[in-house]
Chains A and B, each alone.
Chain A
Amino acid sequence: MRNDMFSVLRRSPFSLAKTRDVALRLGAVIACLALLVIATPNSAQAFSDEELRNIAEQLNDKSATKKVAVIEEMAADGDPRVAPILKAMLDGDLYVRDSDEHVVIATKKGKVFTHIDIVSGEEVGESSSKELSKIKINNRLRGALRDALATLNLFSPDLNIRSAAVEQIMDARDPAMLPLLLRAIDREEDETLLARMELAQATMALAAGETTEERLSAIDVLASETTPQIRAVLSQFVASAEAEGYEPEVVAAAQDALESVEGRLSTWQTIGDVYRGISLGSVLLLAAVGLAITFGVMGVINMAHGEMIMIGAYTTFMVQQALGSILPSGSAWSLVISVPAAFLVAGAVGVVIERSVIRFLYGRPLETLLATWGVSLVLQQAIRTIFGATNQQVTAPDFMSGAIEFSTGLVLTYNRLWIILFSIIVVAGIAAVLRYTAFGLQMRAVTQNRRMAGSVGIRTGYVDALTFGLGSGIAGIAGVALSQISNVSPNLGQTYIIDSFMVVVFGGVGNLWGTVLGAFSLGIVNKFLEPMAGAVLAKIFVLIALILFIQKRPKGLFALKGRAVEA
């Protein structure tokens, strides 16, 4: 399951500072492990069933400190049955059964919990949550559990578990782990994992190594890497140089290594900014593209555009509610179905608005501003009255949660990646409709010369309605995407309306490509400013830049030149 794999990969470096606490408990763990590693590991049966049951019951102790001690003791034993218990505890699946005070691993199915005996590992009855009391953990315990599991898993037959353990050890970076790690290196066959292990070893050897050679070789290994962890390792080493009295040549070497690592990291930072800019751009694009039609093409200053997005988001919510019972949670289908649904719902609303209000206002763009503003107020209140003012929850399907994480610290979250892709598809779709379909042709005809279009037999009213419907429908689709990153509330639309107008105007009214370019450039500029100026100032700068830009290009990025404009 991808998530689990990443849940490990995703872990941010150095989660565990080398506090006294950690040192001690790892010390204990290693001491014992050292023994049992020599005596063939993973096969030891140090615990009798009775002992295991008793010690497990101590996991329910009040004091976290005691719990930590117990966890270490269990881990140190190396009993293969321990790992599943600790894992369950980490996942919050470890309970005490009220009936017989036994510790059981309980997994929830619907309303029922199935109990698995920690000793035998077999199902031993089931019950409701009432008869179980959960063994509580906090962040400190999570840390302890994870380290314990790491040391246990270092020799696990499963490669994934092993590599996860290595990452964890690299995070902890406790010299006490070095001997254990070395032993693991001896046994490791997998090349890539071996490399990681050696890297981990290097991170520790830097400080722990006895000889200058060891340190220098460690630095060589590290210098070739490009991760924030390594930067921290080196910078800490350099910082503590004279305190620890390291050899000058070593320190110098470390300094060089540090610089090279930092240099490479900064380029990755830039890459990250660009990506985030594109991602923001894609969101802006989705929000604006519907407006590019209702406002850009039809000239309706559509203040209700934001509400169309909102309607799309609420449609997504309703689809999920409707399908929630049928589909497993995290299924992609509800979202997939939401897209056409949102298009139809928002589109229909759009058509109604066009027929009932806007069609009376063509050629009076400023009136459309007032009317649609009224419409937006009504729609907001309507949603509020129907669904209530509070947020609605739209769960993210599995394929949209999580992220691809590069060791260089660059994180590409799936939902952002999908939204970028989605925005491109949507735009391509619109372009296709405008260019290749009869409707697109009629639409352009009507917007360019209504009377002429009418006289050649195009039903202009019909085209108007559909055009507005199209724009609204696309806004609805945007709502589906935005429901994944933003909150689904009656105010959703207001969040995006201003930005949408900025994008369309910046790109040049009536020009789809202008909107695309506008969205991405605004996004990227914003993201480059943000780290320097902070989010608020960045936004202000972007707005000022927009104002000044319009001075240079009064008709936006892509403006038609010549007489056409004046006509």
Chain B
Amino acid sequence: MTDYRQKYQMTPVIGWLLKDRGGMILLGILIAAAILVPASNLLLPESSAFHVPTWMVSLLGKYLCYALLALSVDLIWGFCGILSLGHGAFFALGGYAMGMYLMRQIGDRGVYGDPILPDFMVFLNWQELPWYWHGFDMFWFAIVMAMFVPGLLAFVFGFLAFRSRVTGVYLSIITQAMTYALLLAFFRNDMGFGGNNGLTDFKDLLGYSLQSDGTRAGLFVASCVFLGICYTVARGITQSRLGKVLIAIRDAESRVRFTGYRVEYYKLFVFTVSAVMAGIAGALYVPQVGIINPGEFAPALSIEIVIWVAVGGRGTLYGAVLGAFIVNYAKTFFTGAMPDFWLFFLGGLFIAVTLFLPKGVIGAVPAFGSADRQSLFTTWRKRRANEGGKA
């Protein structure tokens, strides 16, 4: 029985999910975490050895958001070869959408007690709410915007870039220019997004206090769920014929063209989907860290995201998730354990991974060195031979 038969006869979703070992493990863990972590945090007494402290819950929640962000980058970079150095922009936009909702929720509990205007508008004495702030008092609207705005930006940007066949480093650099421009724009107080301080001092979400353990646990679960869903969606895309086309584009773009595919549309589709995922990640991130400010647009952050993916293992989706956790945990740990030298470790980690684990940490685990990854590496080797070291 040749495997393509099973591959195409089975009911798709179950079919490829079962085949995706890493994915199954990931989803399993997510489900387990979504149940156990909040349970142990809320039910078990502080004294219990298995009690997960609240700070750990929100920390893990934050990591989950980063993981989702990394996932979205892996979807375009790992599978379609689009290296975006500006994905932080979509993340931040999603975050701002959520932040604006949370800001409106403060209502008259702000320091100036203005029922409508956020504090920063009051003390820069703005008279009324700018038009683009309207509607954000409704949760559903904010959520829609958190996905729509990044999606739209990605669509417009992608439409221009892919139509005119901007590729490789040129694409990477203009994505960077995009996020840098947004960074500067959001720094401006005149933009009405709180300038450098961004949006902060949130009170509650859908009426639940952000300070309470219950809400934290809820957000944690939400993060698990969305990561799970987005993973499934991403895997669905990569497993479909469309996914094969994406990989084909990554490996031999012009061949795909001559085979009759509209490469730009495929790129545009996956780029937009990825941006929406990043937006969701941002929306989940903000209530858990309690602040959103232009810092999230910093090109450095966007580069870091790519590094998470590379560390975990490009082109596997679950590798990206793993990478996000490894790097961010390392950051959390070293900034506390050795504040004066942690950059040596982080920098060293990046160098080491690129040199010794070209397929990322996941690639080092034989069980996960899937055929796809295999060939990805061989492609590199071949490309090196062909291009003789030219980018």
Contacts and interface: CB of A to CB of B under 8 A. Distances in A.
Interface of A: 295, 298-301, 303, 357, 360-367, 369-371, 373-378, 380-382, 385, 446-453, 464, 494, 498, 501-502, 505, 509, 536-537, 539-540, 543-544, 546-548, 550-552, 554-556, 566
A551 B164 contact: yes
A370 B184 CA distance: 25
Interface string B295-314: 00001100100110010000
B351 interface: yes
A543 B303 contact: no
Contacts of A300: 391
A364 B390 CA distance: 9
Would you list the 8 A-B pairs with minimal beta carbon distance, nearest first? Answer: A363-B384, A299-B391, A450-B388, A374-B350, A377-B347, A362-B389, A381-B343, A378-B347
A363 B170 CA distance: 17
Interface string B366-391: 00000000000000100111011111
B53 interface: no
Nearest to B391: A299
Given A375-B351, A381-B344, A370 B176 contact: no
B181 interface: yes
B128 interface: no
Interface in B347-374: 347-351, 353-355, 358
Interface string B155-178: 001001101111111101110111
A551 B161 contact: yes
A505 B173 contact: yes
Given A299-B390, A301-B169, A381-B344, A539 B184 contact: yes
B185 A540 contact: yes
A377 B350 contact: yes
B388 A449 contact: yes
B389 A498 contact: no
B180 interface: yes
A448 to B, nearest CB: 8
Interface residues of B, number: 54
Interface in B33-60: none
A359 B180 CA distance: 30
A381 B174 contact: no
Interface in B174-207: 174, 176-178, 180-181, 184-185, 187-188
A298 B176 contact: no
B188 A536 contact: yes
Interface of B: 83, 157, 160-161, 163-170, 172-174, 176-178, 180-181, 184-185, 187-188, 254, 299-300, 303, 306-307, 310, 340-341, 343-344, 346-351, 353-355, 358, 380, 383-385, 387-391
B354 A371 contact: yes
Contacts of B307: 370, 373
Given A363-B383, A554-B165, 5 more contacts: A363-B385, A374-B346, A544-B181, A546-B174, A547-B174
A538 B86 CA distance: 20
Given A377-B347, A378-B348, A381-B343, A450 B389 contact: yes
Given A363-B388, A450-B388, A501 B176 contact: yes
Contacts of B340: 385
Contact of A374 (B172, B354, B390): B354
Given A299-B390, A509-B169, A554 B299 contact: no
Nearest to A366: B83
5 contacts: A366-B310, A371-B350, A537-B188, A551-B160, A556-B170
B254 A566 contact: yes
A377 B177 contact: no
B343 A367 contact: no
A498 B341 contact: no
A374 B166 contact: no
Contacts of A498: 176, 180, 299
Nearest to A353: B351
Given A363-B380, A370-B354, A543 B181 contact: yes
A550 B166 contact: yes
A502 B165 contact: no
A382 B341 CA distance: 9
Nearest to A451: B388
Given A367-B358, A498-B299, A540-B181, A376 B347 contact: yes
B166 A551 contact: yes
Contact of A357 (B164, B168, B170, B351): B351
Nearest to A534: B188
A543 B89 CA distance: 15
Given A357-B355, A363-B388, A370-B354, A546 B164 contact: no
Given A364-B384, A554-B165, A380 B343 contact: yes
Contacts of B173: 501-502, 505, 550
B164 A552 contact: yes
Contacts of B358: 364, 367
